Structure 1
Amino acid sequence: MIIVRRYTDEARMSKLKPPIIVYGRRKTGKTFFVKSTFRDAIYLFVRRDRSIYYEQRGELISYDEMKRLIEERKERTVVVDEFHRLPEDFLEWIHVKSPENLILITSTLHLARRLLGKGSPVLGLFLDYQMKLIDERDILLNLSEKIHDPKELVEHAVYLREPILLRWFGSDLIEILRSLMYVVPSLVGEIFTEEEKELSRRYEGILRALASGRATLTEISTYLYSNKLIDRHDLSSIKPYMKTLIDIGTVERIPEYGGRRYYYFIHSPMIDLYYYLDEKYNFSESELEEKYFTEKFPLHVEQFFRGLLSKILGMRPFMIRKPDLEIDLAFVDYKKLRVVGEVKWKERMEGREIRRIEEKLGRYKDCRKILVVQSRDCLDTEPREIEVWDVEGIVEMLKNPE
């Protein structure tokens, strides 16, 4: 077990004060973070049967007692976790009373967005805060104090952005990933339950399509049609499902630079790896060797660095995939391509491979060029006109930002 400090979330939350709605996908660490940030707050948890647990007292209280508590203890912050389980008149009560000491937590994203949107009885009364996976910068900084090998550090960071896996820190990474057989089906089921959606064969088919490398709507539609999960090869029939998956934080999309299409990816490497292994090797019913778990490491590492560099550079990521050219990293600022790069996750890079990267990135004359590697020691020769970012240098950059 390791406690990870979420520096980025701490900095963002420090700029807010109640009333706040904190929302996010299941098992992203919302409750732990709020408790750690608002240490003196009264903490109330709404159970599935609508009973309310007052943690400091260690007892159950009634709905009316909860409302009195919020009104009478105005000098203290009151946290209501899983508030969406309360009676429907709770929101009307908030509208009338407008309490300023309240933090609401929910795992139901569609409800949070509805409360913050047009026509909501509490519109304008709350600031919102979305909890996602642990920020790439924060997980690297935390784990760098425990893991010194650059390859091991990044590969742990990729998957331990999922707070649910942190309890097993210190175990071998492959052994942690074996637990996905039990963790992921349960988690995905909970996500859909909270969103009041059925985890239908069509939704699961989309996740399997994405995990097996189908990244465009056409490729996803083809997969679903060939597996008889849709009646006709029609992109319009899957767009509502894609929108739902994006809205609940399970899928992300990245635009194509210079084109009109989008590329879709499962947001969580943990969920993506599970569906990849189950689709290809029947993971849910088989004991797999270590080599199968590492097959997707390079792609997940690439996605990790795409997110990390996007935040370091303050630019939006785009995809460049053409028949004769594919670039790992592309970042745009003010609609102009500013940075291109490659991620090479191997222990040695020969000179001829470095020359190919120079040639590929050299097509973009006016762009900054970056090569991400495990260590500079991996390189046979230093690339020309390309910045080399290795793991040690990136961690140092995060520790000492300009």
Structure 2
Amino acid sequence: MVDFLNLDLENLKLKNLYLVFYDILYKGVVKMFINREKECEFLKRKLSSNKAELLVIYGRRRVGKTFLLQNCLEKALFFTADLSSSIHLMNRFLDEIKSILALPSTLRISSWDEFFGFLKNVFEAKRDLKVVVFDEFQYIPMRDESFTSVLQRWWDEIFSKLGVKMILCGSYIGMIEKIVLTRNSPIYGRRTGQYQVLPLDFFESVKFLNFESTRDFVKAYSVTDGIPLYLLEFSGYRDFYTALTEKVLTAGEYLVEEGKFLTLEEFKDPSNYYSILQSIAQGKTVPSEIADISGVDYKSIGMYLSRLMELKFVNKEFPFFINRKPKRKPHYYLSDEYLRFYFRYIYPNQELIYRNLKEEALRRITATLDQHVSFTFEKVARQYLIKREGVEKVGRWWNKEIEIDVVAIKGKTLYVGKCKWTNKRVDIRVLNKLRSKVPYLLKDLQVSDFSIIYYLFSKSGFENLEESDEVKLIDLERLFLVNQ
């Protein structure tokens, strides 16, 4: 990366242009590295070891894996895969090292063994070069199932003995887990570490944004879900609706089609999957409801949900438990906020967006947006308890008739919470209703000697309520204090 701080701008004819470029690029780099210190520390620790390392770095697309690697690794070979044929990929990878080995530009190869042979020559010729990254790694074995076995053999016989640090980086979480991290994978017993790069939580995400209203931060999180690249799209705006209109409801902006790119290549026929994803995005969480709304036959819905869970587009959640998983049926949710927003609002309204009918698209979204954001607010509340109380486990709890938004545990203390994303202030009735649910929770968890702390989270504040040791009142202003 160019060091813009050390450029001699006085001698540049386009000084002002470079200053603008610096302002955009360098500030973006600073923001993109928010809360990635742990990941960078992991990489540097592994790469400074005195032994060979085979590392797996994986996570959702756009979460910043490649950016992290490019900025944490001082010197490395990068090979980025795609859906091209194996022959095309191996020869494109070879092009990256031809100059290092002074190979003829016309040289072509036809096997991975040949490629790894040349890669071995690189490490032997360049003693100071020991790091190699295969980015979007999952595409290679998708095209050639024998690749992982070939890689395993070269790792065992050659690269591990040369002290090579090899990083396999992939975007499709379920696929990477299947290809690399399962016990029947040829690479399973060879890896020396793995790290899942996660989206930023709400409290780190807000550092990207410059909104005037605290409510807008939660709304933006309900669209971006802590994905750095999405957050940067919203970072130049002072209010949420302007950012939403210009970056999500404007034809040509990449967030309009991003959901399609994230999911489409996974499915030969996406129609049923898209119908299911839309149903879940609308708040349907059990298979019977999902089948009814999506139009997919109930007998087949389990197969589709299993595939979506394998790809990590959908999560299966059970009611909060301590010692034993409850026998009740699980609920299904979309794995991140952007996909939930995309399938609820962007995908169904794409025609309006491409006809430049932004106002009508925005009207349709705002009609139910508070309902959408209320689910996000629960997610933020759970993150708050992790950050503020250091809870050991957190989730939601329900039975046939009762639901509790937030339940967490730390030692012998249960934290029970209610989240209200409404324009009404929270009063004693909300607290009393929450208290009335706790005996059912305790019976289900089979505990009796736990202390209870009640947390009320409110978009619009409180009235006729006072905080105490057992009752905590968290409005939006106080929510942000957790970062201080």
Pair in the same fold by TM > 0.5: yes
Structure with greater proportional helix content = 2
**One of 277, 292, 316 as aligned partner of 1:253:** 316
Alpha-carbon distance in structure 2 between the residues aligned to 1:250 and 1:337: 33
Query: SS in structure 1 opposite 2:414?
Result: strand
Match of 1:153 in 2: 217
CA deviation map 1:350-396 (0-9, x unaligned) = 4xx41221112222374211122347xx3333345520223443333
Post-superposition shift, 1:72? Answer: 4.9
Match of 2:166 in 1: 102
Alpha-carbon distance in structure 2 between the residues aligned to 1:41 and 1:252: 35
**One of 272, 280, 285 as aligned partner of 2:340:** 272
2:171 is aligned with what amino acid?
S
1:292 is aligned with what amino acid?
R
Q: Is 2:374 the partner of 1:304?
A: no
Q: Is 2:431 the partner of 1:367?
A: no
- CA-based RMSD: 3.4
Post-superposition shift, 1:345? Answer: 2.6
Alpha-carbon distance in structure 1 between the residues aligned to 2:433 and 2:127: 62
Over 3 Å counting, the alpha-carbon distance change for 1:271 and 1:33 in structure 2 is same
Structure with higher RCO (Cα < 8 A, 6+ apart): 1
The 5 A counterparts of 1:29-178 are: 29-47=64-82, 48=84, 49-50=88-89, 51-52=92-93, 54=96, 63=115, 64-70=117-123, 72-73=125-126, 75=128, 76-86=130-140, 88=147, 89-97=150-158, 98=160, 99-109=163-173, 110-126=175-191, 127-140=193-206, 142-143=207-208, 146-147=210-211, 149-160=213-224, 161-169=226-234, 170-171=236-237, 172-175=242-245, 176-178=247-249
Alpha-carbon distance in structure 2 between the residues aligned to 1:119 and 1:54: 32
1:330 is aligned with what amino acid?
V
CA deviation map 1:207-249 (0-9, x unaligned) = 011012110123223334xx2x32xx33xx3333222222222
Alpha-carbon distance in structure 2 between the residues aligned to 1:11 and 1:27: 18
**One of 276, 283, 290 as aligned partner of 1:206:** 276
CA deviation map 1:100-127 (0-9, x unaligned) = 4111112243244332222322223221
Over 3 Å counting, the alpha-carbon distance change for 1:34 and 1:307 in structure 2 is farther
The 5 A counterparts of 1:221-370 are: 221-224=291-294, 227=295, 229-230=296-297, 233-234=298-299, 237-257=300-320, 259=326, 260-277=328-345, 282-286=348-352, 287=357, 288-294=360-366, 295-296=368-369, 297-309=372-384, 311-312=386-387, 313-322=390-399, 324-332=401-409, 338-346=414-422, 348-350=423-425, 353-363=426-436, 364=438, 366-370=451-455
Match of 2:19 in 1: none
Computing the radius of gyration over CA atoms, which structure comes out larger, 1 or 2? 2
Contact 1:318 1:331 in 2 (8 A): yes
Over 3 Å counting, the alpha-carbon distance change for 1:65 and 1:331 in structure 2 is same
Percent of pairs identical after alignment? Answer: 19
CA deviation map 1:153-207 (0-9, x unaligned) = 22223333233423422243322232543222222214x1xxxx43532222220
1:382 is aligned with what amino acid?
L
Alpha-carbon distance in structure 2 between the residues aligned to 1:338 and 1:276: 34
2:137 is aligned with what amino acid?
F
Task: Calculate the TM-score normalised by the size of structure 2.
Answer: 0.68
Post-superposition shift, 1:22? Answer: 1.0
Query: SS in structure 2 opposite 1:318?
Result: strand
Task: Calculate the TM-score normalised by the size of structure 1.
Answer: 0.80
Alpha-carbon distance in structure 1 between the residues aligned to 2:124 and 2:185: 22
Q: Is 2:390 the partner of 1:390?
A: no
Over 3 Å counting, the alpha-carbon distance change for 1:92 and 1:298 in structure 2 is same
Q: How many residues align?
A: 377
2:284 is aligned with what amino acid?
R
Query: SS in structure 2 opposite 1:14?
Result: helix
Over 3 Å counting, the alpha-carbon distance change for 1:6 and 1:326 in structure 2 is farther
Alpha-carbon distance in structure 2 between the residues aligned to 1:257 and 1:158: 23
Post-superposition shift, 1:263? Answer: 1.4
Alpha-carbon distance in structure 2 between the residues aligned to 1:216 and 1:245: 14
Query: SS in structure 2 opposite 1:65?
Result: helix
Over 3 Å counting, the alpha-carbon distance change for 1:354 and 1:222 in structure 2 is same
Over 3 Å counting, the alpha-carbon distance change for 1:320 and 1:84 in structure 2 is closer
Alpha-carbon distance in structure 2 between the residues aligned to 1:254 and 1:70: 46
Post-superposition shift, 1:74? Answer: 5.8
Over 3 Å counting, the alpha-carbon distance change for 1:84 and 1:103 in structure 2 is same
CA deviation map 1:112-148 (0-9, x unaligned) = 43322223222232211122323333213x236x345
Match of 2:464 in 1: 381
Over 3 Å counting, the alpha-carbon distance change for 1:394 and 1:74 in structure 2 is farther
Q: Is 2:86 the partner of 1:25?
A: no
Contact 2:218 2:373 in 1 (8 A): no
Query: SS in structure 2 opposite 1:19?
Result: strand
1:318 is aligned with what amino acid?
G
Alpha-carbon distance in structure 2 between the residues aligned to 1:200 and 1:369: 44
Over 3 Å counting, the alpha-carbon distance change for 1:19 and 1:183 in structure 2 is same
